[in-house]
Amino acid sequence: MDILEMKLSMSICALGPHAVLLTVPFATAFNKSYCQAVRVHMMLFGEDVWRYTIVLFTRGDWLGDTTAEERIESEGEDLKWLIEKCGNRYHTFNNKNRTNETQVNELLEKIDEMIASNSGCCYEMDRDIAMENSGKKKSIEENAEKLVANSDKIRAVLKEFYKGQKHSFSEQTLVLLGARESGKSAAGNTILMAQAFQSGLTKTFQNPRGTRKCLPFQTQIFKKNVTVVDTPGWYTSTNDASVLVEEEIARGVSMCLPGPHGFLLVIPANKPFTEEDKEVTTKYMNIIGKSVWKHTIIVFTYGDWLGERSVEEYIESEGNKLKWLMEKCGNRYHILNCYDNRESRLSQVSELLGKVDEMIVRNRGKVFCPVAKLSSPFNWFRKNTFTEEEWIKREDDLIERLLKAMVAKPDKKPVEARDGSFVFDFPNMRRETRSVFGMPASLGSAKVPLLLNYGSSTSSSSGYYSMGTTPSVREADAMSEMESIE
């Protein structure tokens, strides 16, 4: 997103900018990594951009009695390379002396000299590249709007599926997960509306080493007893994996009895989500248990960094790796801005807890519990009989496939009926080779509502059909119908 915005900045000026001011703070060492970052970002504009660039040193007040020339000499070859690359054009600003008009006038004079040396021409980016960048931004904005629409559609569909059930819970137990410096502790403090955890993102606490031990904290907010467990952040490199972190995260999950209602996977919106981030996140999440994804909501922190851009634009600009993570978490996500005023933070937290409630409903009110592998020599006996858990899994799989099909289908919003329910245009599932119930694709979309409502009149208190090891007459008829169709 940063790269695209920087490229587009050159197109804002109709004829192109007369000058590019490359700001470098004197208070920061200009080392090899800094120099490499400058190279990479300036390369976005092509080699010709250096002819129009002046290095503008900020924090001139930090120099004291040292001159800019002495500082450049002391910094070594990297800074000297930059100055030479810019045709030895540089200027210094004293940030604490803003009333000094002389330093501004001197800068404008240097810009005039540079414009004259460039024959009065402006820097002009290749028009094809400019058009391509503009097209990318438009595509991102359009896809972001679709993401919002699809998210609303999924939530409306699930609300209709679980109509009549309890949709708000008086207790929520949540575990914070994420990488180091992702803003986990700050997110926890925002949710709890209290300085419960030490965080480097708040003025009250400064904790550069990050969270080392799991810590639970409970409070009542919006008439809910909310418990949040902060856990140590994992390293973002696969080479720095820590067994101690794994054990401490496991201990944090065990603090929630009988188990957590949900996990908040914290992703900082001010950083790219890389392939290595994807691998490390998958590793730690799978250590907790593969079913953890069903109980997870992605929480994006550093919401203030986005400015006027939406979190959906960030998601779309980051590409397939972040989209993959979104899909793993059932497209559940939320954005937090820990620096907003109290009223805004309350609104953010209220919306997040509402999404947690929806996830709990989707999981039939059950807390997270790792699933043990079945290794019984008598498993062959269960080949044609199904437990309630297996039927629930099959229904869950069908709902997941249905939701994906609805998102992939051209937009058709659900129509709200007079009784408050929604009328959906269910997608055609004919392309599926077989349904999760073993029914052939020829049944098409007409069977989807039937399957979802199947058994609704049984005596199951949960509102879903129940099946033990011995099928009922109705269930046996349905299984017989499947076999005859096959």
Last residue of a domain, one of 93, 117, 141: 117
Instruction: Please name the residues in contact with 307: beta carbons below 8 A apart, sequence gap of 6 or more.
Output: none
pLDDT along the chain (486 residues), means of 10: 81 85 92 92 90 94 88 91 95 86 94 94 78 80 86 82 81 94 93 85 47 88 93 78 81 89 95 92 90 95 89 90 93 90 92 94 87 40 50 74 68 57 53 41 41 41 35 44 42
Q: What's the structural domain count of the chain? A: 3
Q: Is 123 among the domain residues?
A: no
Q: Is 233 among the domain residues?
A: yes
Residue 214: half-sphere exposure toward Cβ, Cα within 13 Å: 23
Kind of pairing between the strands at 224-230 and 333-335: unpaired
Q: Is 325 among the domain residues?
A: yes
What the block records as the tokens of 246 is: 């794994």
CB of 197 within 8 A of CB of 217? yes
The pLDDT score that the predictor gives to residue 461 is 35
Instruction: Please name the residues in contact with 171: beta carbons below 8 A apart, sequence gap of 6 or more.
Output: 224, 225, 226, 227, 261
Last residue of a domain, one of 334, 362, 390: 362
The pLDDT score that the predictor gives to residue 418 is 57
The pLDDT score that the predictor gives to residue 41 is 92
Q: Are residues 402 and 308 in the same domain?
A: no
Q: Are residues 339 and 402 in the same domain?
A: no
Q: Is 139 among the domain residues?
A: no
CATH code of 86's domain: 3.40.50.300
The pLDDT score that the predictor gives to residue 298 is 97
Q: Are residues 197 and 346 in the same domain?
A: yes
Whether the pTM exceeds 0.85: the reply is: no
Domain hosting 30: range is 17-117
Cis peptide, bond prior to residue 216, ω within 30 of zero: no
Q: Are residues 342 and 391 in the same domain?
A: no
